Amino acid sequence: MSEVFVHEKAICESKNVGRGTRIWPFAHVLPGARLGSDCNVCECVFIENDVQIGNRVTIKAGVQLWDGTTVEDDVFIGPNATFTNDLYPRSKVYPEKFLRTIVKKGASIGANATILPGIEIGAGAMVGAGAVVTRSVPPNATVVGNPARIVGYVDADKSGHSHVTTREVEPNAPKENDTGVKGVRIFRMPRFTDIRGELSVGEFAKDLPFQPARYFVVYNVPSRETRGEHAHRANHQFMICIAGSCTILVDDGISRREFIFDSPVVGMHVPPMIWGTQYNYSSDAVLLVFASLPYDANDYIRDYSEFKMLVQR
C-alpha cells in the first residue's frame, strides 16, 4: 500500500489496491473491495466489499459501487453515476445473492446514468449522460435515454459511402461496391419499372455471391431492439431490406462501418468472420437474409472479445 495514494480525508480499508492508484477526499473503500493499478477514485466515492475494479479505471465524484459490481480495465465512470444491485429493494430485507453487474473493458458511463442490476455493459460501449440502462448493452454501442436505447456505435465510419441511403444508388452504378470492411460488399440488384410498378429480381447462381441453403425474414422488430450481435465462422449471408429501413453495422475487427438500407434493389454480402449488428428498424421494416449453410449453433460467435481474439489470430 506504500505506492498507493490515500488522501488524509479518505478511508481505504482494503489491502488489495494496486500500485499507482489514487483515492481522494471523502472516498470510502470497504475491506473486501479489490482495486487494480493506476486507478483514480475521486471525491465522495463509496466502494462496497464485493466489488472488483480493474486497472486504469476512473471513478468520478459521487459514484457508489455496491456489492456485485465488476468493473474491468480502462473504464470511465462519470460523476454521480448510480449502480444498483437489487431489483426489488426493501429496508432490512436482503436477497440471498446480489445480482452481478459487469462493465467490460474500455466502456464509458456518462454523468448521472443509472445502471440496473444484473446487466453487462459491453466492451467499448458508451452510456450517455442521464441514461437509464435497463438491459445489457452490446460491445461498442452508444445508448441514450430512458430507457436507454442504441443510437449508434462507437468509431463506426459514417462518412461518405459508408453511410448511404440505398434509394440514392444511381441506376448505372457498379453492380458491386466494396465497403472498406474486409470482404463486405454492397450489390445493386436488377430492377424493372413500368406503369404497373417496380420489380426487383435476383438469380442465385448469377446475382448472389454464393448458393443459399436457407433464408429467414426479420420483421415486426420494435425500433429500440437490436438483432444480430454475432459473427459466423463459415456461414455467408446476403441481406436485403425489402420494406421499410434498418441500419446494418459490419465490423471486421479493425474497421467498423454502418449502412442504412431502405430499398429492395440493394443487398449486402456479409462473409464469415464479420461481426454484424442490425438496429434502428422502422416499424414496417422487413429484412430478408439468405444464408449459405443450414442453421448450426456452433457456427455462431456471440462474444465480441472471442471474435476479436480469433481475428487477431
Do residue 256 and residue 170 come from a single domain? yes
Among residues 154, 169, 192, the one where a domain terminates is 154
Do residue 119 and residue 54 come from a single domain? yes
pLDDT of 307 reads 92
- First-to-final CA distance of the chain: 38
Do residue 132 and residue 168 come from a single domain? no
User: E strands within 154-236?
Assistant: 176-178, 185-188, 191-194, 197-200, 214-219, 227-232
Q: Are 111 and 93 in contact (CB under 8 A)?
A: no
Number of domains in the chain: 2
Tell me the pLDDT band of 115, cut-offs 50, 70 and 90. Answer: very high
Q: 167 vs 74, 170, 220, 244, 301, CA distance in Å?
A: 41, 8, 22, 11, 32
Question: For 94-106, what is the mean pLDDT?
Answer: 92
Query: Is the pLDDT reported for residue 50 higher than 60?
Result: yes
Query: How many residues does the structure list for the chain?
Result: 313
Among residues 134, 154, 174, the one where a domain terminates is 154
More confident residue, 194 or 33: 33
CA atoms of 225 and 84, how far apart (whole Å): 23
pLDDT of 56 reads 97
pLDDT of 158 reads 57
| pLDDT tens, position by position, 247-282 | 999 999 888 898 999 989 889 999 999 999 998 899
Do residue 4 and residue 124 come from a single domain? yes
Query: Is the pLDDT reported for residue 156 higher than 80?
Result: no
Do residue 165 and residue 306 come from a single domain? yes
Tell me the pLDDT band of 97, cut-offs 50, 70 and 90. Answer: confident
What distance lies between CA 76 and its chain's CA centroid?
16
* Residue carrying C-alpha cell 465512470: 77
243: nearest Cα among 169, 161, 166: 166
Tell me the pLDDT band of 2, cut-offs 50, 70 and 90. Answer: low
Domain that holds residue 304: 160-312
Domain of 218: which CATH number?
Answer: 2.60.120.10
Tell me the pLDDT band of 151, cut-offs 50, 70 and 90. Answer: confident
pLDDT over 70 percentage in the chain: 92
Do residue 164 and residue 146 come from a single domain? no
More confident residue, 27 or 179: 27
SS3 content of the chain, % helix, strand, coil (to 5): 5, 40, 55
Do residue 129 and residue 179 come from a single domain? no
pLDDT of 157 reads 61
63: nearest Cα among 18, 16, 28, 22: 28
Do residue 176 and residue 255 come from a single domain? yes
Q: How many CA atoms, within 13 angstroms, populate the side-chain half-sphere of residue 219?
A: 11
CA atoms of 313 and 305, how far apart (whole Å): 13
Do residue 193 and residue 82 come from a single domain? no
Question: For 36-42, what is the mean pLDDT?
Answer: 97
CA atoms of 64 and 47, how far apart (whole Å): 6
pLDDT of 303 reads 87
For the entire predicted model, the pTM comes to 0.75
Question: For 108-117, what is the mean pLDDT?
Answer: 97
Do residue 69 and residue 13 come from a single domain? yes
> What pairing do the DSSP bridges indicate for beta strands 266-270 and 185-188?
antiparallel
Do residue 201 and residue 296 come from a single domain? yes
In terms of average pLDDT, the best of 130-144, 163-177, 222-236 is 130-144
Tell me the pLDDT band of 176, cut-offs 50, 70 and 90. Answer: low
Query: Is the pLDDT reported for residue 167 higher than 60?
Result: no
Tell me the pLDDT band of 161, cut-offs 50, 70 and 90. Answer: very low
46: nearest Cα among 30, 70, 28: 28
Domain of 34: which CATH number?
Answer: 2.160.10.10
CA atoms of 193 and 102, how far apart (whole Å): 53
Do residue 113 and residue 187 come from a single domain? no
Give the torsion sign (CA, 238, 167, 174, 273): negative
Give catalytic residue positions: 230
Among residues 122, 154, 186, the one where a domain terminates is 154
Query: Is the pLDDT reported for residue 237 higher than 90?
Result: yes
Lowest mean pLDDT among 63-67, 187-191, 234-238: 187-191
